[in-house]
Structure 1
Amino acid sequence: MSVWAVLEEADRPRWTYTPGVGVGPLVFGMSRHEAVAAMDGFVGDLAPAPRAIADTWLTRFRVPDRLPYRTAVLAFHDGTDGLFCVIVDAACGPQVTLDGLRLVGRLPSGWEAELFDYALPRGIQPVYAPTGDPGADELGIIMQVQRAGDHVLTRPALGVVRERANTLWDSLPYDPDLHG
């Protein structure tokens, strides 16, 4: 299987995202050990997060029998806030929905239009991160993109605004590999 392969929708687990609460089996605020226990069917590799402040941990979740070398979900924890950010891989991560709006593996332009159609009637003002990625702090979403062969697809960063942060962007762990 090619490194650029993208799983079909039918082959992806289905998760629901609830802003401020969690995504799939992952609940914001849970410990890194609770997250590993909650991710049935995934193997979690836990390590200190690269280029992060002290006591920030990254767990890379993968499905052992399908694309075993590919990370499907990244989960970031810190000692104060517990789980604060989940990033779902565009090519092999679960399909995540917010009120029926598909978040993972989409063409960015189509997703951006749907974000505005979803957010504006609810009084939510979409914003753009410094990288140009659209999102909404009230929804806890910054929609990053990920290369998949000759295309780019949506890779959502889902999280909560942490203490001492002004926006969701300020809350995301800094790693150039995660920001574009």
Structure 2
Amino acid sequence: MSLWPVLPERDREQWNYVPTVGVGPLRFGMTGDEAVAALDGFTGYVPPPDSRARDQNGLFRRHGDPAYETALYLYFDQPDGLYCVVPDARYGPQVILDGMRLVGQPPSQWEADLTGYLGARGMPLRYSPGGDAGSDELGIITSVQRAGDVVLTRPVLLVQRAWAYTLWDMVPAGEGDIYS
């Protein structure tokens, strides 16, 4: 067994991404309870709202997987509900946008695919100060995650909130880091 296992593509759930609407069975704006109910085949929870914190986050893994194999990271804002979905590069579902695979890809290939996709639609490619590619129009920001000697894409999928100037203003703390 590898110290850095990556779930084979054939074993991943296949979810579609619809910008500003949702990811697979998840819809932006859902409550934590609604998200838990929608994630059939996953185990996890969203803690109850905390009056001291504006955001909540939920961690989910596939039924039967060890607790350390987190497949999904969900972020909720009070009172707007689910605003950010981050599938894990190693264990998460494959998320597809118009045939483009977003999860577990080599970053250079993913960026080339995104550049072509945006260019064909007349949309700009944006970069964060840290060099992460993304698209405000699509609600996608590139993040990467280590898997042994390689890094794989771990997209941050967001719906822009009224107070944010760009998507990067809304990225949950720590999601811009390289994950192990």
TM-score normalised by the chain length of structure 2: 0.92
What runs of 5+ residues in structure 2 fail to find an aligned partner?
none
| Structure 2 residue matching 1:139: 3-state secondary structure | coil
- Cα distance, 1:143 vs structure 2: 1.1
Query: Paired residue for 1:105?
Result: 104
Aligned AA (1:153)? L
In 2, Cα distance between equivalents of 1:92 and 1:12: 8
Instruction: Give the root-mean-square deviation of aligned CA atoms.
Output: 1.7
Query: Paired residue for 1:179?
Result: 177
Query: Paired residue for 1:89?
Result: 88
Query: Paired residue for 1:162?
Result: 161
Query: Paired residue for 1:44?
Result: 44
Query: Paired residue for 2:4?
Result: 4
- Cα distance, 1:133 vs structure 2: 1.1
In 2, Cα distance between equivalents of 1:179 and 1:16: 25
Query: Paired residue for 2:19?
Result: 19
The answer to whether the 8 A contact 2:76-2:84 is kept is yes
Aligned AA (1:9)? E
Superposed CA deviations along residues 108-132 of structure 1, whole A, max 9, x for unmatched, are 0001001111001201101112221
- Cα distance, 1:61 vs structure 2: 0.6
- Cα distance, 1:80 vs structure 2: 2.1
Q: Percent identity?
A: 54
In 2, Cα distance between equivalents of 1:138 and 1:124: 7
In 2, Cα distance between equivalents of 1:161 and 1:34: 20
Number of positions where the alignment pairs a residue of Structure 1 with one of Structure 2: 176
1:32 aligns with 2:46: no
In 1, Cα distance between equivalents of 2:66 and 2:13: 14
| Structure 1 residue matching 2:142: 3-state secondary structure | strand
- Cα distance, 1:81 vs structure 2: 1.4
TM-score normalised by the chain length of structure 1: 0.92
- Cα distance, 1:97 vs structure 2: 0.3
